[in-house]
Amino acid sequence: MTGVDGEIRRRPTEPMHHPQITTDQKGIPMAGVVTVRLPDGSTKELADGTTALDVAESIGPRLAKAAVAAIVDGAEVDLSTEVPDGSSVAVVTADSDQGRSVIRHSTAHVLAQAVLRLWPGARFAIGPVIEDGFYYDFELPGGAHFSDDDLGRIEVAMREIMEENQPFIRYEHSIEEGLALFEDQPFKREIIEAVEAGANEVDATAAENGGPEVSTYWNSPTFTDLCRGPHVPSTGRLGHFALMRVAGAYWRGDEKRQQLQRIYGTAWESEKALAAHLERLKEAERRDHRKLGAELDLFSFPEEIGSGLAVFHPRGGTIRRLMEDYSRKQHEAAGYEFVYTPHITKAELFETSGHLDFFADGMFPPMELDGGQQYYLKPMNCPFHILIFKSRQRSYRELPIRMFEFGSVYRYEMSGVVHGLTRVRGMTQDDAHIFCTPEQLEGELHTTLNFVLSMLRDFGLNDFFVELSTRPEGKAVGAEEQWDEATEVLRRVAEQMGLETVPDEGGGAFYGPKISVQARDAIGRTHQMSTIQLDYQEPQRFGIEYTGADNSRHRPIMIHRALFGSVERFFAILLEHYAGALPTWLSPEQVVVLPVTDAHQEYAEEVERRLHALGVRVELDTGDEPLKPRIRRAKLTKVPYILVVGADDVAAGTVGVNRRGSNRPDRAVPFESFAEDLITEIADRGSPETPDPGLGDAPGDDPGDDRA
């Protein structure tokens, strides 16, 4: 078949519906039969030529209606794909994670078609699925740029395409045919040429059997896109989407290449799911740590210092100090030894470690000192800790050795990915490195993972799963056998602890696999928190050894562990998790005392002194303003407790307690009773609120609610 966009090499058979087969009078299946195995282990016998959609229909009409794709023998395919005899088939429904990915990918294609319809001559690049959405990159004619005002008319064009119910029809092409098909689309041609060279691209991959091929999806005589698939059967299956924003993006993420125009969108299986997502985005915006950091006067990023380099103000510095002090206390109790290392080093250290071979793009450029000697800002602490281990002879009796440091590191993040405190260029890692014997390894991993989870729970994060990251092909050092052994140990430890384990194929560091603890916050978002990496390679590269019980030299195994990840990022996650209303023990001010008038100031000062003597972080706000503006100002700082004292309190030795999150103040509370409850709450790492952290403000938290 020949399409208007170029010669088509092959066209698949149009979908046909094949009823479930019957048997002859003796109960023997008739000829032309395929048998498929379903996820529950049962089998179905269907007519030869049965498609994945036919399988869904044979199970039930509701499943067929919900289906958007299928998984046949582990591969995601279109519903129109014929299933081979003996295959395993699972139907992918719209409300599953895989189903939503199909919906988002298909919606991205419709976005591209709409843009090309509205901007003839536009060039389109890639349109992958991302978390909760998708994007597509374009180069507009004449160097034009999208504006936010364009999103509305693009959405209108997309809905027109969806109403046309255009089919998604897959075609296979040779490399030559693909290049001819996209002769006016340089980004697509570059992808096809990369596939010809054996690359695995976002929108295309080299065929496993035979010569290189690429696949496309035809929607109409005016639009074909390069794509692996799968897709929904037709554009009419789509419609629950929203375009979110426009941005600039470099082609291939390379700032030396063309800057393209990117449109972000989201798509869901229903209007209800879309509305819920948009509501979550509003809540996430309310919790944005960058916004809260400015409102609460916690940190800033002065232009005079540079992108991605934060300074912490006194209130933010107090929170950070409390985090670090608590971490130090727990590490000391867990048998860690504290070390300190410099911020720069000679280049040779990172040549030995391999960082200059595998991580140079993420490092700041070198400084030349002392007659040409190159020095680098350190991106990692691990080589320094290895040198401490290597500084003298070690015995098996000393192991395990657990070194810990709050070490500042520096990484050259591209300007386009720097984001508040979560992606910075200068950070402090709570970095630990454990050196142990092979016999101690599994026990140390258990102990380390338990320690990590316990610490995260202390900070109010309780919903976890782990991600297991394996060998990165082409970037790893060391024998595959060691990698396999290390990966299996990590998997076994996670499973023995009953943790849900999600694979991250190829996501390990260059020196070893890792498990990453993923935590869900108060609004259900997932954040990578702590990492535990197993490393056989760095001890070999540095030649470190210990003397065993047999008086022979042995190589220790090294465990890399960052619990916060970085202090800055953990700070941001906590701030968003609690929507700025931190637990009392972490709040920069725990109590603000307000006298009603000047006549009550002396008693207010006495309350301040008594709380300060108990170790409470307390402030006195006398001011020249009336009481209501002072209450409003204190509430805006999200302080856990506001104490208002008047004439009755002076006479009775009581305080009026405005508890963050409460509907109304508690009046005439004996000071001793309040102080006792407060000290208990701080010791228990509690909060004044009874609901979940930050999930909406109670009436008493409204800055306009000035009841005293």
Q: What is the pLDDT of residue 21?
A: 43
Name the percent of the chain lying above pLDDT 90.
75
DSSP code of 29?
B
Q: What is the DSSP string of 287-332?
A: T-HHHHHHHTT-EE--TTT-TT--EE-HHHHHHHHHHHHHHHHHHH
**pLDDT > 70? residue 539:** yes
Q: Which two tokens stand for residue 385?
A: 């800790």
* Main-chain dihedrals φ then ψ at residue 80, nearest 5 degrees: -80, -5
Q: What is the pLDDT of residue 210?
A: 52
Mean pLDDT of 136-155: 94
Mean pLDDT of 93-118: 97
Q: How confident is the model at residue 497 (pLDDT cuts 50, 70, 90)?
A: confident
Burial 525-549 (b: 16+ CB within 10 A, else e): bebebbbbbbbbbbbebbebbbeee
Q: How confident is the model at residue 15 (pLDDT cuts 50, 70, 90)?
A: very low
User: Closest by alpha carbon to 571, among 562, 560, 561, 582?
Assistant: 582
Place of tokens 């290449």: 257
Quote the pTM value: 0.81
Question: Same topology for domains 2-93 and 299-577, yes or no?
Answer: no
**pLDDT > 50? residue 703:** no
**pLDDT > 70? residue 31:** no
User: Closest by alpha carbon to 82, among 53, 60, 61?
Assistant: 53
Mean pLDDT of 380-408: 96
Inter-residue contact 541 to 532 (CB < 8 Å): no
DSSP code of 425?
S
Inter-residue contact 659 to 687 (CB < 8 Å): no
Give pairs for 669-673: CB < 8 Å, separation 24+. 671/607, 671/610
Q: What is the pLDDT of residue 572?
A: 96
Inter-residue contact 559 to 535 (CB < 8 Å): yes
pLDDT digits (tens, 9 = 90+) for 607-627: 999 999 999 999 999 878 899
* Main-chain dihedrals φ then ψ at residue 682, nearest 5 degrees: -65, -45
Q: What is the pLDDT of residue 361?
A: 86
Burial 14-29 (b: 16+ CB within 10 A, else e): ebeebeebeeeeeeee
**pLDDT > 80? residue 183:** yes
Which neighbouring-strand residues pair with 345?
376
Mean pLDDT of 368-392: 94
CA count, 13 A, side-chain hemisphere, 107: 30
Place of tokens 């603890």: 517
**pLDDT > 80? residue 19:** no
- What stretches of 30-182 adopt beta strand conformation (E)? 33-37, 43-47, 67-72, 75-77, 89-93, 123-124, 129-130, 133-139, 169-174
Inter-residue contact 454 to 448 (CB < 8 Å): no
Q: Which two tokens stand for residue 35?
A: 């048998």
Place of tokens 């869901």: 268
Residue with more model confidence, 474 or 148: 148
Count CB atoms within 10 A of the CB of residue 214: 29
Q: How confident is the model at residue 494 (pLDDT cuts 50, 70, 90)?
A: confident
Place of tokens 């479930």: 20
Count CB atoms within 10 A of the CB of residue 565: 20
**Does CATH number 3.50.50.60 belong to domain 98-282?**
no
CA count, 13 A, side-chain hemisphere, 123: 19
Q: What is the pLDDT of residue 1?
A: 32
**pLDDT > 60? residue 537:** yes
Between CA 44 and CA 59 the distance in angstroms is 9
| Cα four-point dihedral sign 272, 273, 275, 276 | positive
User: Closest by alpha carbon to 660, among 578, 597, 601?
Assistant: 578
List all residues 6 or more positions away from 506 whose beta carbon is below 8 Å from its beta carbon.
469, 470, 471, 472, 473
Q: What is the pLDDT of residue 699?
A: 34
Q: How confident is the model at residue 690 (pLDDT cuts 50, 70, 90)?
A: low
**pLDDT > 80? residue 694:** no
Q: Which of these ranges, 9-23, 191-205, 308-322, 459-473, has the smallest mean pLDDT? A: 9-23
**Does CATH number 3.10.20.30 belong to domain 584-701?**
no
Q: Which amino acid is at 79?
A: L
Q: Based on C-alpha coordinates, what's the Rg of the chain?
A: 31
Q: How confident is the model at residue 393 (pLDDT cuts 50, 70, 90)?
A: very high
- What stretches of 470-538 adopt beta strand conformation (E)? 501-504, 514-520, 526-535
Domain coordinates in residue numbering, the chain: 2-93, 98-282, 299-577, 584-701
Q: What is the DSSP string of 61-100?
A: HHHHHHEEEEEETTEEE-TTPBPPTT-BEEEEETTSHHHH
pLDDT digits (tens, 9 = 90+) for 588-606: 999 999 999 999 999 999 9
Burial 230-262 (b: 16+ CB within 10 A, else e): bbbbbbebbbbbbbbebeebbbeeeeeeeebbb
User: In a 10 Å sphere around its CB, with 0-12 CB exposed, 13-18 middle and 19+ buried, how is residue 118 labelled?
Assistant: middle
Q: Which of these ranges, 42-46, 437-441, 476-480, has the smallest mean pLDDT? A: 476-480
Which neighbouring-strand residues pair with 264?
135, 245
- What's the fold here for domain 2-93? Ubiquitin-like (UB roll) (3.10.20)
List all residues 6 or more positions away from 1 whose beta carbon is below 8 Å from its beta carbon.
8, 11
Catalytic residues: 382, 411, 429, 431, 433, 514, 560
Average model confidence (pLDDT) for the chain? 89
Which neighbouring-strand residues pair with 432?
404, 561
Angle ∠(123,125,129) on CA atoms, nearest 5: 140
Mean pLDDT of 400-408: 96
Q: What is the pLDDT of residue 705?
A: 47
Which neighbouring-strand residues pair with 547?
395, 553
User: 3-class DSSP state for residue 250?
Assistant: strand
Mean pLDDT of 562-581: 95
Mean pLDDT of 557-585: 95
**pLDDT > 50? residue 312:** yes
Mean pLDDT of 68-86: 95
Q: How confident is the model at residue 202 (pLDDT cuts 50, 70, 90)?
A: low
Q: What is the pLDDT of residue 206?
A: 52
Q: What is the pLDDT of residue 512?
A: 82
**Does CATH number 3.20.20.370 belong to domain 299-577?**
no
Between CA 205 and CA 174 the distance in angstroms is 12
Q: What is the pLDDT of residue 452?
A: 94
CA count, 13 A, side-chain hemisphere, 203: 28
